[in-house]
Amino acid sequence: MAMARVSSGPAYPERFYAAAAYAGFGGSSNSSTGAISKFRNDVALLLYALYQQATVGPCNIPKPRAWNPVENSKWTSWHGLGNMPSAEAMRLFVKILEEEDPAWYSKVPEFNVEPIVDVEMHKPKMEPVTQSPTPNGNPFPEPKTISPENGSVLETQDKDVIMEGLGSVGIYDQWIAPSISGQCPKPRYAHGAAIVQDKMYVFGGNHNGRYLNDLQVLDLKSLTWSKIDAKAQTGSPESPIVLPVTPCAGHSLITWGNKILSVGGHTKDPSETITVKEFDPQTCVWSNLKTYGKPPISCGGQSVTLVGTTLVMFGGEDAKRSLLNDLHILDLETMTWDDIDAIGTPPPPRSDHAAACHAERYLLIFGGGSHATCFSDLHVLDLQTMEWSIPKQQGVTPEPRAGHAGVTVGENWFIVGGGNNVNGVSETLVLNMSTLTWSVVTTVQGRMPLASEGLSLVLSTYNGEDFLVSFGGYNGRYSNEVYVLKPSPKADLQSKMIEGPVSDSTVALLPTTNASRDVEPEIEAAQDGKIREIVMDNGDAEPVNIRSEETSERLVATLKAEKEELEATLNKEQLQTLQLKQELTEAESRNAELTKELQSVRGQLAAEQSRCFKLEVDVAELRQKLQTMETLQKEVELLQRQKAASEQAALSAKHRQGSGGVWGWLAGSPPEKSDS
């Protein structure tokens, strides 16, 4: 028998209607007036819009006239939600109410949460693993489904299990609830978890809309909970100031050496920029780390991934509930932030997504949510070229989800939990990051904490084996339960075998195993065409079926043919590459010649422009001289006319004188004598 801590409480939509009644909605037609008087205007408008979206649907009424500012603001807030689903609007309504009034649930008589009780849980009945034959008659193991009793999966029995710590989990690829001792932490979600020296540290989170600041530790060797009385230290080391730890949720915990880093998170009084804190398990003290460069704005729900000696941060939601899709890198050696402007199409703004790093080069972003929808897309960032891409995926199609958690084991990325605006996601998925192939590891049934959002997931190694450890979450009620899954080594072998096209002969070598057994001998087809036989001990010491030599020869022949085909394709691609390089060289040479000609033409054009300018100056001078000459010509003509007139007058006078002498002689008057 095992004992687990289970809390009860109403699920949706009852929880939403209780919250709406407390906020003042749902009574009369003017029920929103109570909410406006109880909360700030911006919060009241948002609550009104979410209530209308949840109960009526998208806003289809015409916009009120401008002279009514109150109705205008209400319409704008409601219309801004677009086609947000009713279930998501209910969830956000309750979430915002809990943030504004954490104790609202205790003030509603019909919504008193029952106290936490000890519930006796029984061993589950394991369903047989059904196998479907392949075309050549070899069966594949189907994904195993846990059948819970009373909504939980409990310890299982195995005659070969040593009941000590994580060693009590003896079944592969199934979630087990081990027996835990010590005082269980308060149920929560949106917390952080990290592993340091076989201990899982859980910090902060959200419980009933109230941010937490406690630090809980689960010893994974003894599976015992304990609480650490941690303090926050500020100021200089010579004169430190000890303060209470700031409550937060939606932060990221990262193991760095023997210490833990906490990045970001939502707080009651957020700062302008993001904070980075460090916890020392030796001194049990939190301290703020000083960073340089341009830090990101304060946010929560982001992803923070350790890549070498850097932290890569993406997305999240800021203090004003605006979603982000920016990218920042913190160098842990210099503690300097770098704002990255990557090329390509980045993921849409989101929060509560999952991120992982593959081969110390590729950052993978999966899922997450906006205010209106959840995502199931996969984006990859090449950290060398800083370029985003959307790769082609294989295998099963993941459901949209947000608030899920993920860890990497080798080249496999395990995704657990999350919600999709309707209910929790029940499948535990694994993505082979080399082949980008999705597959289902296991499925849980019923309303289990594993099918919830805001849970944490860490990877622990015990006696040379890997274990996934989940804690907490929210799917209509808050959880404080611990679940453990031991990934099968078979997953690594199969992922390597399907890296290339799967032929019939390759399919024939895929193993058939029972969930409670170890892996049978496998034959792994490597990319270089060599065949390695990997033998593992069988726990039941059953004889191993030796495959026929003919099958192996067919496989070798098939792989050799594929290798030759790939080599031929590679040679063809290399030849095409060489031709393209030659064409590129010729194009560059022609480009250089054209550049020289262009420069020469530009020089000639500049010289001609200079000559044209000089000619324009000369023409202007000549025009001035021509105008002067015209004026002089007019003056000469005037003088000539005056001269002609004078000469004519003189001639007329002389002629008159000559005519007077003859007529005087005839008249008898003597001619005048001159004075001389």
Residue range 283-330, pLDDT digits in tens: 999 999 999 999 999 999 999 999 999 999 999 999 988 999 999 999
Q: Answer whether residue 587 is part of any domain.
A: no
Least confident span in 69-73, 189-193, 545-549, 645-649: 545-549
102 and 172 belong to one structural domain: no
Position 666 scores a pLDDT of: 57
Please name the residues in contact with 120: beta carbons below 8 A apart, sequence gap of 6 or more: 1, 3
16-28 confidence digits (pLDDT tens)? 888 888 888 865 4
Residue 13 has pLDDT above 50, yes or no: yes
In the chain, the number of structural domains is: 3
Position 234 scores a pLDDT of: 83
Distance CA 46, CA 80 (A): 10
Check residues 1 and 227 and name the one with the higher pLDDT.
227
Nearest one of 123, 140, 175 to 486, comparing CA atoms: 175
Provide the CATH number for the domain around residue 184: 2.120.10.80
| Long-range interactions of 96-101: CB distance < 8 A, separation 24+ | 96/43, 96/46, 96/47, 96/50, 97/19, 97/22, 97/23, 97/47, 97/209, 98/206, 98/208, 98/209, 98/210, 99/209, 100/39, 100/43, 100/209, 101/209
573-586 confidence digits (pLDDT tens)? 888 888 899 999 89
531-558 confidence digits (pLDDT tens)? 233 233 333 333 333 344 666 677 777 7
Position 363 scores a pLDDT of: 98
Q: Answer whether residue 324 is part of any domain.
A: yes
Confidence of residue 273 (pLDDT cuts 50, 70, 90): very high
224-250 confidence digits (pLDDT tens)? 999 999 999 887 777 788 889 999 999
Q: Answer whether residue 159 is part of any domain.
A: no
Domain end (from 57, 84, 106): 106
Query: Average pLDDT of 22-46?
Result: 66
88-145 confidence digits (pLDDT tens)? 788 888 888 877 777 777 777 655 443 333 333 333 333 333 333 333 333 333 333 3
Q: Answer whether residue 278 is part of any domain.
A: yes
Query: Average pLDDT of 171-193?
Result: 94
Confidence of residue 660 (pLDDT cuts 50, 70, 90): low
179 and 86 belong to one structural domain: no
Cα distances (angstroms) measured from residue 296 to each of 263, 353, 661: 11, 18, 126
Distance CA 671, CA 330 (A): 134
Position 180 scores a pLDDT of: 93
Q: Which amino acid is it at 540?
A: D
352 and 236 belong to one structural domain: yes
What is the model's pTM? 0.57
Query: Average pLDDT of 334-341?
Result: 96
532 φ, ψ (degrees, to nearest 5)? -120, 135
Domain end (from 429, 459, 486): 486
44 and 177 belong to one structural domain: no
Q: Answer whether residue 40 is part of any domain.
A: yes
98 and 172 belong to one structural domain: no
Q: Answer whether residue 402 is part of any domain.
A: yes
257 and 382 belong to one structural domain: yes
100 and 175 belong to one structural domain: no
Check residues 542 and 331 and name the one with the higher pLDDT.
331
- How many Cβ atoms from other residues are within 10 Å of residue 141's Cβ? 18
611 and 471 belong to one structural domain: no
Confidence of residue 499 (pLDDT cuts 50, 70, 90): very low
C-beta separation of 445 from 148 below 8 A = yes
Nearest one of 514, 473, 466 to 169, comparing CA atoms: 466
Check residues 114 and 491 and name the one with the higher pLDDT.
491
Check residues 255 and 663 and name the one with the higher pLDDT.
255
Query: Average pLDDT of 260-281?
Result: 95
- Beta strands 427-432 and 437-444 are antiparallel
Position 194 scores a pLDDT of: 98
Q: Answer whether residue 434 is part of any domain.
A: yes
C-beta separation of 459 from 466 below 8 A = yes
325 and 198 belong to one structural domain: yes
242 and 345 belong to one structural domain: yes
Position 411 scores a pLDDT of: 94
Tell the burial category of 503 from Cβ atoms under 10 Å away from its Cβ (0-12, 13-18, 19+).
middle
Q: Answer whether residue 566 is part of any domain.
A: no
406-426 confidence digits (pLDDT tens)? 999 999 999 999 998 778 899
Domain end (from 58, 86, 106): 106
Position 144 scores a pLDDT of: 36
Position 483 scores a pLDDT of: 96
- Angle at which helices 69-79 and 41-55 cross, to 10°: 60
Query: Average pLDDT of 380-388?
Result: 97
100 and 172 belong to one structural domain: no
Tokens of 38: 């109880």
Which helix or strand (DSSP H or E) is residue 381 part of?
Answer: strand 378-382
Range of the domain at 625: 593-638
Question: What share of the chain in percent tops pLDDT 70?
Answer: 76
Position 565 scores a pLDDT of: 84
Query: Average pLDDT of 584-598?
Result: 90
Q: How many residues does the chain have?
A: 676
Question: What share of the chain in percent tops pLDDT 90?
Answer: 45
Which helix or strand (DSSP H or E) is residue 309 part of?
Answer: none
Position 43 scores a pLDDT of: 84
67 and 200 belong to one structural domain: no
Provide the CATH number for the domain around residue 25: 1.20.80.10
